[in-house]
Chain A
Amino acid sequence: MKSAKFDYVVAKTVADAAASLASAGTSPSIVAGGQSLVPMLNLRVAVADVLVDISGIEELKTNRLTATGMTIGALTTHAAIEDGKIPDPFDGLLRKVASGISYRSIRNYGTVGGSVALADPAADWPVCFMALGADVCVSDGAVARSQPITEFIEGQYRTSLRKNEIVIGLDIPRSDAPPRWGLHKVVRKSGAFADSIAIAVQHGGDKTACIALGGAVPRPLLLATTAQRLGRGDTSEDALRAAIAQDLRASTVQADSYLIRLHSATVVRAIRELRNS
């Protein structure tokens, strides 16, 4: 299959991109790495009348590390993180997540911002950023806003992005004591989107925990009860499984018995990896 026709404009700045989006017809689309968008256009599950190419915008490529947080520019590629080209104050979590996304040839061009903006519930970055309590930074060229990723992602492939807005980066809080983390992912085939992916993070200072789950779910979600048990150190297998079941019941996940077993297994394994680290 080949894509339907579209126009193509190159944006040099965020303001430039926002202006192109605002003046476009009904279905403009941002393209950065294009690693999800191009196949979706080719398969015609996505349509765009104009592609706004933001891949050359320098201001979206900067990463900043401060004492209290880290900002990742939207155009940072998975490969750059995998190769340690940007700082990873989370004790290797970012590198681990990046290196598990698809294949190297995809990671070379796929971007962090693209992954968050697409909001595929089975994608790795939204789950990771939820576990780390990140905010998504968005701009319409004039006004920038920032929103917790748990609110930014509204559903399957649905975000709070307005037509003339683009994701400019992620703000992740950090403390002096690096967190401990565990990750477990179940995929049918290496490089595929996850059937289930869980990331557990326990902060170094106050030992509070965050557990995010993605995969075959309507949208990635935080498991609050399970995280509380982990924070208290109540991590017997039975206690965890009961808490996970409670969290899944409280969510919009419609899981059959197989999916409940699958998600429970990934969460328990992620927590076990964290405890063993």
Chain B
Amino acid sequence: MRPITVELNGVKVADEIEPRETLADFLRDRRRLTATHLGCEHGACGACTVLVNGKVTRSCLRLAVMCDGSAVQTLEGFRDDRIMETLRRHFHECHALQCGFCTPGMLVMARDILLRLPSPNAETVRIQLSGQICRCTGYANIINAVVAAGREIGNASDA
């Protein structure tokens, strides 16, 4: 077991882990942060997407031990985030989820897209979200929601 310290959603936490533990397992099993979903556990589905030091990453592809000293943000940490609030509302209005399993990863990735590529069109969103798998195949509404959220945020910052 190895000690690690992580700034988790803004709060410093210290824990002990095995080197082979992924960040995803650390978040879910040790910290009980279960918004981060595990679909494929080998980097193919994107459901477990979180931020490490502000960068989107798949928590199933990061070893928790490598995150020692890092800042980790999960979906739970975006409760008061303005972009996430807008995305949540548009996901609701566009019916951008069915079973909801992929939604945490979709939201975290969508927020990253809107930060890097403000007011993206549907084509851009489609390419940028292509690493996130929705097994209900409700992609059209997810893309609509991200485009609508981007437009609203873009308009607000133009004003």
Contacts and interface: CB of A to CB of B under 8 A. Distances in A.
Contacts of B62: 34, 38, 109
Nearest to B43: A39
Contacts of B116: 104
Size category, A interface: 20 to 34
User: From DSSP, what is the main secondary structure of chain A's interface residues?
Assistant: loop
Interface stretch (A4-12, A128-136, A149-157): A4-12
Interface in B10-49: 18-20, 22, 25, 41-43, 46, 49
Nearest to B55: A108
B58 A6 contact: no
B56 to A, nearest CB: 4
A246 B127 CA distance: 36
19 contacts: A5-B18, A6-B19, A6-B20, A7-B19, A34-B62, A38-B43, A38-B60, A39-B42, A42-B22, A102-B131, A103-B130, A103-B131, A104-B112, A104-B116, A104-B128, A105-B56, A105-B58, A109-B52, A190-B131
B61 A35 contact: yes
Contact of A2 (B20, B49, B55): B20
B65 interface: yes
A41 interface: yes
A105 B109 contact: yes
Most buried by B among A6, A8, A34, A104: A104
A43 B43 CA distance: 11
A79 B42 contact: no
A34 B65 contact: no
A31 B66 contact: yes
Nearest to A55: B66
B121 interface: no
Contacts of A35: 43, 61
A7 B52 CA distance: 23
